[in-house]
């Protein structure tokens, strides 16, 4: 948190993404995430907070899923989660499932 007298300054978006990416990786160790495999999908402002959606390759994905349909295969190829971060202090607030 940056403080100038009584004025609080918000974190910039790059700082928020770095914080959210670290939380994402820490909270999902079972996905064996490589940093290069983490993809930012969406960035949304929720009041003073930021909701950053990340995705990684699904470790349970099977190419045979193509037989079930292209749309289903595309969505099951990656796992996506939303990390919510306080925009002023950078504190982790929540981890949510991404709505399909």
What average pLDDT score do residues 31-58 get? 86
How far is the CA of 79 from the CAs of 16, 33, 51, 63, in angstroms? 21, 11, 16, 15
**CATH code at position 80:** 3.10.450
Identify the domain containing residue 24 by its residue range. Answer: 11-97
CB 73 within 8 A of CB 58: no
Within a domain: 52: yes
The model carries a pTM of 0.72
pLDDT tens digit string along 8-29?
Answer: 457 889 999 999 999 998 887 6
Domains of the chain: total: 1
Provide the pLDDT for residue 6.
43
5 lies in some domain: no
């Amino acid at each position: 948190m940056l403080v100038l007298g009584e004025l609080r300054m918000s974190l910039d978006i790059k700082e928020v993404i770095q914080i959210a990416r670290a939380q994402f990786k820490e909270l999902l160790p079972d996905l064996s995430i490589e940093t290069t495999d983490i993809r930012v999908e969406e960035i949304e402002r929720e009041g003073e907070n930021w909701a950053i959606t990340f995705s990684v390759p699904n470790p349970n994905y099977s190419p045979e899923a193509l037989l079930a349909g292209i749309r289903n295969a595309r969505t099951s190829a990656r796992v996506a989660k939303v990390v919510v971060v306080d925009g002023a202090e950078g504190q982790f607030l929540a981890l949510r499932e991404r709505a399909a």
